[in-house]
Amino acid sequence: AQSVAQPEDQVNVAEGNPLTVKCTYSVSGNPYLFWYVQYPNRGLQFLLKYITGDNLVKGSYGFEAEFNKSQTSFHLKKPSALVSDSALYFCAVRDVPTGGFKTIFGAGTRLFVKA
Amino acid sequence: GAGVSQTPSNKVTEKGKYVELRCDPISGHTALYWYRQSLGQGPEFLIYFQGTGAADDSGLPNDRFFAVRPEGSVSTLKIQRTERGDSAVYLCASSPQGGSTDTQYFGPGTRLTVL
């Protein structure tokens, strides 16, 4: 069965510092991996995805994520955090082909960026 | 362009009542998904439509939950004999073609409260 773990409920970082939000996954096939961000009273917004190819994926708002097959991880990173990055971040996985189109989400990590 | 919209934004009902939640996907998107998000959790997959048909309804928790998409556009999630445990935010998402690499675009959600 496919699963996603976000080991940190909350990440605190100072503005201007690099940030990392961790994600590990478990699938039986090849994973398709996604990051979404959720702001208060708004829907989830797509940040980036890994399908195949280069392990380093670049996405919206300066975010990037690195797919590491041996560690089954897909950590989200940004070189310099902004206060406006403060939000709830979700990692998600699709187990292709065994899981079909079902997307499994992690429980989320709340990011606080302090000025 | 217009994103995914959901109505109502909030719904309060009494235990045992019937509710309908509506989702208007992005125009032209053939795939539509319903998720349920409980407090402190990530979205939980409920059902996936490709066109008018439910391609995967394995996430529906029991037979009190049902969803339709009769014309391949708007979808309605129907919950019979609501229970307090049904209280959650119900999210709808759409994607252009429904392929496993598709990005899903989420609506703002309907917050359902069962008293």
In this prediction, residue A2 carries a pLDDT of: 83
Top mean pLDDT of A29-33, A40-44, B108-112 is at B108-112
Cis (ω within 30 of 0) for the bond into A97?
yes
Which chain B residues have a beta carbon less than 8 Å from that of A59?
none
Q: Do B48 and A51 touch (CB under 8 A)?
A: no
Residue A20, min C-alpha distance to chain B (Å): 19
Where along chain A do its domains lie? Answer: 3-114
Contacts with A97 from chain B: Cβ below 8 Å: 100
DSSP classification of residue B84: G
Query: Which DSSP string corresponds to A68-87?
Result: ETTTTEEEEEESS--GGG-E
How many Å apart are CA B45 and CA B66, to the nearest integer?
A: 13
* Cβ neighbours around A26 below 10 Å, total: 14
The domain defined by B5-99 folds into Immunoglobulin-like (2.60.40)
Beta carbons of A32 and B100 less than 8 Å apart: yes
If one looks up domain A3-114 in CATH, what number appears? 2.60.40.10
Q: Which residue of A has its CA nearest to B108?
A: A43
Amino acid (one-letter) located at B52: T
CA nearest to A108 within chain B: B42
Residue A96 banded pLDDT, cuts 50, 70, 90: low
Give me Rg for the CA atoms of chain B.
13
What are the tens digits of pLDDT across the range B86-99?
999 999 999 998 77
Reported as a single tens digit per residue, the pLDDT across A100-112 is: 678 899 999 999 9
- Whether B42 and A42 lie within 8 Å, measured CB to CB: no
Per-residue pLDDT at A42:
79
Question: How close, in Å, is residue A99 to chain B by CA atoms?
Answer: 10
Q: What mean pLDDT comes out for the span A52-71? A: 94
> Is the pLDDT assigned to residue A97 strictly greater than 70?
no
Among A39-48, A82-91, A105-114, B73-82, the range scoring the smallest mean pLDDT is A39-48
Give the model's confidence band at B2: pLDDT under 50 very low, under 70 low, under 90 confident, else very high: confident
For residue A107, give the nearest of B42, B104, B109 by CB distance.
B42
Q: Contact A101/B55, CB-based, under 8 Å?
A: yes
> pLDDT for B15-72, tens place per residue?
999 999 999 999 999 999 999 999 989 999 999 999 999 988 989 999 999 999 999 9
| Mutate: best of B58, B100, B106, partner A, most A CBs <10 A | B100
